Amino acid sequence: MRLNKIIGKEVLNEKGSVVGKVTDIEIDTASNRIENIVISPKNKEKGLTASFMKPKGEVLIPYENIKKIGDMIILKKPISEIEEIIEEIQNL
């Protein structure tokens, strides 16, 4: 799948609820792999802290937390758990 086909796709949590849409993709240029997808969350106030959000209110989702990319993108875990993982990495 081409990267430009991922932008605009809906992102669903592990329960099938829409949590947002993909607005950008971050690539690791050394490995040429997707590092994060950037989403614009459907509800920007619910369960997202400043450390988890980019300046425009977008949210980073590490690629390893994506279960499937197809017509929609499905996450492996709830966003709250993904946020905890990111915070742990930032505190190392």
> Which whole number is the average pLDDT over 11-22?
88
Concatenate the DSSP letters of all residues of 63-83 into one string: GGGEEEESSSEEESS-HHHHH
What is the reported pLDDT for 84? 63
Average confidence score pLDDT of the chain: 79
Count of beta carbons in the 10 Å neighbourhood of residue 36: 20
- Pair of tokens at residue 35: 């590092």
**pLDDT > 80? residue 28:** yes
* Pairing of the two strands 59-62 and 33-41: antiparallel
Closest CA to 61 of 89, 88, 26: 26
> Which whole number is the average pLDDT over 32-41?
89
- Pair of tokens at residue 72: 């929609």
